[in-house]
């Protein structure tokens, strides 16, 4: 018998739709949405708001906290659905260490579309000026275990439906993977 994944990370650069897609997945699957941005310390938010990209040191404590939050969610019997950029393999590995068997949904988007979306987000601390640094930092997870790459320009409902099916098919082998 194949068991559904107990936790996933909806990942990608700023503007790819992590929050919207994560919320749709949560509603569809009954999982608990963990909005990664909520866990950023004030210093990180201040830095990003000023147009300064975060570095590995800035992200270290934040990633630890996200791993703890997911682990507690899974331990309580809930499905964790985390929204987190998880741009580097090392960041994803840190999250995997906290929740073994963690799945990743990689929302892929062009630089231009990401910038356009970020420019049209009201009241968010991440300025469009940081889009280039996001793409420069991104280490694609395509080919990593339990990773589902998807075209983030697809409708949210369609993305959530694809992820829901993947969640119930542990290795996702029977589903086509988007480029």
Q: What angle do CA 90, 117, 29 make, to 5 degrees?
A: 65
- Predicted confidence (pLDDT) at residue 173 exceeds the cutoff of 70: no
Phi, psi of 79 (to 5 degrees): -85, 125
Structure tokens at 4: 């559904």
Query: Looking at 67-76, 99-108, 126-135, 161-170, which range is the least confident one?
Result: 126-135
Instruction: Give pairs for 24-30: CB < 8 Å, separation 24+.
Output: 24/156, 24/157, 24/159, 24/160, 25/81, 25/105, 25/160, 25/163, 25/164, 25/167, 26/81, 27/160, 28/160, 28/161, 28/163, 28/164, 29/79, 29/81, 29/163, 29/164, 29/167, 30/79
Phi, psi of 35 (to 5 degrees): -80, 110
Residues 6+ apart with CB under 8 A from 60: none
Structure tokens at 132: 């280039």
Q: Where are the domains of the chain?
A: 12-111+118-167
pLDDT, one tens digit per residue, over 12-64 is 998 888 999 999 999 998 899 999 989 988 898 888 778 787 888 998 999 99
- Across the chain, mean pLDDT equals 86
Q: What band does 123 get if pLDDT is binned at 50, 70 and 90?
A: low
Residues 6+ apart with CB under 8 A from 69: 34, 39, 80, 82
pTM of the full structure: 0.86
Structure tokens at 56: 């590995």
Share of the chain above pLDDT 70, in %: 87
Q: What is the C-alpha separation between 115 and 100, in angstroms, rounded?
A: 33
Q: Which CATH superfamily is domain 12-111+118-167 in?
A: P-loop containing nucleotide triphosphate hydrolases (3.40.50.300)
Q: What band does 111 get if pLDDT is binned at 50, 70 and 90?
A: confident
Q: What is the C-alpha separation between 9 and 85, in angstroms, rounded?
A: 9
| Runs of H (alpha helix) within the chain | 18-29, 42-49, 56-75, 89-98, 111-119, 131-137, 156-167
pLDDT, one tens digit per residue, over 82-102 is 999 999 999 999 999 999 889
How confident is the model at residue 126, as a pLDDT?
A: 59
Query: Looking at 7-11, 105-109, 132-136, 173-177, which range is the least confident one?
Result: 173-177
């Amino acid at each position: 018998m194949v068991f559904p994944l107990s936790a996933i990370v909806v990942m990608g650069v700023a503007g790819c739709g992590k929050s919207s897609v994560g919320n749709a997945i949560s509603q569809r699957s009954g999982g608990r949405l963990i909005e990664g941005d909520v866990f950023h310390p004030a210093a990180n938010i201040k830095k990003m708001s000023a147009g300064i990209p975060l570095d590995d040191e800035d992200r270290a404590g934040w990633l630890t906290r996200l791993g703890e939050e997911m682990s507690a969610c899974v331990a309580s019997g809930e499905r964790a659905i985390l929204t987190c950029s998880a741009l580097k393999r090392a960041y994803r590995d840190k999250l995997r260490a906290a929740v073994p068997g963690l799945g990743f949904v990689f929302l892929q988007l062009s630089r231009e579309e990401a910038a356009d979306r970020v420019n049209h987000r009201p009241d968010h601390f991440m300025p469009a000026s940081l889009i280039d640094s996001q793409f420069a930092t991104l280490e694609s997870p395509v080919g990593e275990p339990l990773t589902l790459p998807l075209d983030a320009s697809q409708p949210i409902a369609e993305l959530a439906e694809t992820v829901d099916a993947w969640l119930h098919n542990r290795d996702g082998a029977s589903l086509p993977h988007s480029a």
